[in-house]
Structure 1
Amino acid sequence: MWWAVLAAGLGCYLLKLAGLSVPARVLAHPVVARVADLIPVALLAALVAVQVLAAPDGGALALDARLAALALAALLLLLRAPFLVVVFGSAAFAALLRLL
């Protein structure tokens, strides 16, 4: 078991080292800079999608209050609501739907 933890730690260190050893001229390329800016957004969107649509028992897709709350959050973001309003509003909406 400890070998897996050590291997994961070494892998993370080597990945970080690889990122630091990339030449500056490669990072200055506009396409690379744009992709590097969009990767965190894509990863966060994938995590949100998995958490919203995953069934608690690991079965099929779950269409419940989480999906409705995500839709409300998207609507509030389109309306340029402050971040805290989006978070608390969608959480309260999900809680209200679960209560009903």
Structure 2
Amino acid sequence: MNLWMWLLVSCALAYAWKLLGYLIPASALRDPRMSRIAGTMTIGLLASLTILNTVASGQALALDARLGALAAAGVALLFRAPFLVVVIAGAAAAAGLRMLGWS
């Protein structure tokens, strides 16, 4: 199958998954376990996307300044810094590492 066929299949599957969500009874959604599972899945998905965008370049592994930026942002989060400070720390770390030649 070519790329466009895979794209159409993934769109159809995503739409079917969304439609399936409407078939879940409201009583199941009120269960505290369901809220916990949904929250955990969201965190896991966002973490995996962050790591993927940090260390991947196309289909190759890239260890560059983005990894240092993620580490700096993680340290800022450990110190419970506000979101803007976390973003600035990550950007400053990436800029500094790139100035040092680690791109």
Q: TM-score, with normalisation over the residues of structure 1? A: 0.80
Q: Distance in 1 between matches of 2:97 and 2:10?
A: 41
Q: Distance in 2 between matches of 1:3 and 1:67?
A: 34
Deviation of the 1:64 alpha carbon: 2.0
Q: Distance in 2 between matches of 1:19 and 1:34?
A: 17
| Pairing of 1:42-57 with structure 2 (within 5 A) | 42-54=44-56, 56=57
Distance change (3 Å), C-alpha of 1:11 and 1:80: same
Distance change (3 Å), C-alpha of 1:25 and 1:51: same
Distance change (3 Å), C-alpha of 1:10 and 1:80: same
CA deviation profile, 1:58-93 (whole Å, cap 9, x unmatched): 33x332211111111011011111101111221121
Paired residue type of 2:64: D
Q: Distance in 2 between matches of 1:70 and 1:33?
A: 28
Which residue number corresponds to residue 88 of structure 1?
88
CA deviation profile, 1:10-62 (whole Å, cap 9, x unmatched): 433322121122011211222221011121111110011111111x3533x33
Which residue number corresponds to residue 68 of structure 2?
68
Q: TM-score, with normalisation over the residues of structure 2? A: 0.78
The higher relative CO (CA closer than 8 Å, separation ≥ 6) is in 2
Identity %: 46
Q: Distance in 1 between matches of 2:53 and 2:58?
A: 13
Which residue number corresponds to residue 35 of structure 2?
33
Aligned pairs, how many?
98
